[in-house]
Amino acid sequence: MKYKNLSALRFVLSVALTIAGFVSAIIVNAAVPQAAAVKINRYEYFGGTLDFNILYRYAAAGIIILYLGLAVFAYFSEERRVNYVKRAPFRFALGVALALWDILGTKYLLLPQPFFPGPAAILETFLNEPAFVLENTLYSLKLYAAGFTAGVTFGVGTGILIGWFPRVYYWVSPVLKITGVIPAVAWMPFALTLAPTPFTAAVFLMTMCAWFPIASFTAQGVQSTAKVHFEVAKTLGANTAQLVFRVAIPHALPQIFGGISMANGFMFTTLVMSEMMGQPGGLGYYIQLSRVWSAYYKVFAAIIIMAALFSIILYIIGIVQNRALRWQKGLVK
């Protein structure tokens, strides 16, 4: 009982430590006077008036509410409680870093301007053109979804063929090894010239950069399947299709997800680069457009959105991977 009380006290202290960092960020923004050189624009939203400082405080308060909700969720699982307590110092440091950044970049303009705006100034992007930001974000998501689907389908399909059929391995493997070392950017002139639209050109580039790692990992997974597994399946009456789809592919799933995880970063990088060099929309296009007008606070806003999207995508892939590989739980530490 004493151990449980001590554990609960430590958890409560970690929640307080988490909140303290972001509370300090709100207090600093409200208490420190604004530099006279900063023009504060006001916007009408939901029947009230907002400026970037008020939005910044709301955002910090939203983070506090988020972490309080996560604390409630973590409390009912010992594993989640341990992870929450372990990350509390980092979250406190994050709140303090926001407060310091706010002082240097927003309040006193001690950082080189306009290249390093404060966090409040960055959030103004969502006040002065929210519809345009949303439009470009949705375009990036649409482009990523098309490229990811094509890359995974083509990569996994090629990997299965290479791993299962020796003749396909003989003819395709050298091509895969040659094209795999060529950066996707090198294909950009050909893609922009030969593809019917910039969208299909970007999808082609993302497919090319995903093809090599996914196909290679998938082929290795299929080829490494133990012969005894096939022999047992044949004894039970499995035909060739069942050997492939019920023995080889399930065995190769860890390698397949490893290839997808590796390719995901390449695809996201290629997505942004293609948007900056020929797409009619997207977050990369938004960064390029903002840079031309020296609106670097918008550039940082797009980067933050990219980081959030990439984290969410990785989280979703992790959930799918854990679901598909749930049989590994307890076997792999």
Domain ranges of the chain: 2-116, 130-328
Of the pLDDT bands very low, low, confident and very high (cuts 50, 70, 90), residue 193 is confident
Cα separation of 142 and 139, whole Å?
A: 5
Percent of the chain beyond pLDDT 90?
Answer: 54
Cα separation of 132 and 1, whole Å?
A: 56
Residue 62 clears pLDDT 70, i.e. is over it: yes
Q: Is 209 within 8 Å of 198 (Cβ atoms)?
A: no
Of the pLDDT bands very low, low, confident and very high (cuts 50, 70, 90), residue 192 is confident
Region of residue 222 (left: phi > 0; alpha: psi -120 to 50; beta: else) = alpha
Per-residue pLDDT at 5? 46
Q: Where does the chain have alpha helices with state H?
A: 2-31, 52-75, 78-102, 119-123, 125-128, 130-164, 166-180, 188-194, 198-223, 227-235, 240-243, 249-276, 283-292, 296-324
- Under 8 Å CB-to-CB from 297, ≥6 apart: which residues? 114, 117, 121, 122, 124, 125
Q: Structurally, what CATH architecture does the domain formed by 130-328 represent?
A: Orthogonal Bundle (1.10)
Percent of the chain beyond pLDDT 70?
Answer: 96
Residue 98 clears pLDDT 80, i.e. is over it: yes
Of the pLDDT bands very low, low, confident and very high (cuts 50, 70, 90), residue 218 is very high
Of the pLDDT bands very low, low, confident and very high (cuts 50, 70, 90), residue 329 is low
Residue 149 clears pLDDT 50, i.e. is over it: yes
pTM, to two decimals:
0.86
The predicted model gives 124-142 an average pLDDT of: 94
A 10 A CB-CB count for 253 gives 16
Cα separation of 130 and 127, whole Å?
A: 6
Q: Is 40 within 8 Å of 123 (Cβ atoms)?
A: no
DSSP structure string for 19-59: HHHHHHHHHHHHHSPPPTT-----EEETTEEE-HHHHHHHH
Cα separation of 159 and 207, whole Å?
A: 14
- Which residue did the predictor score with more confidence, 305 or 333? 305
Per-residue pLDDT at 200? 92
Per-residue pLDDT at 2? 42
Residue 309 clears pLDDT 80, i.e. is over it: yes
Of the pLDDT bands very low, low, confident and very high (cuts 50, 70, 90), residue 323 is confident
Average pLDDT of the chain is: 89
Q: Find tokens 């001590």 and name the residue.
A: 6
Per-residue pLDDT at 331? 53
Task: Give the least confident one: 226-240, 273-287, 319-333.
Answer: 319-333
Cα separation of 285 and 15, whole Å?
A: 40
Per-residue pLDDT at 328? 67
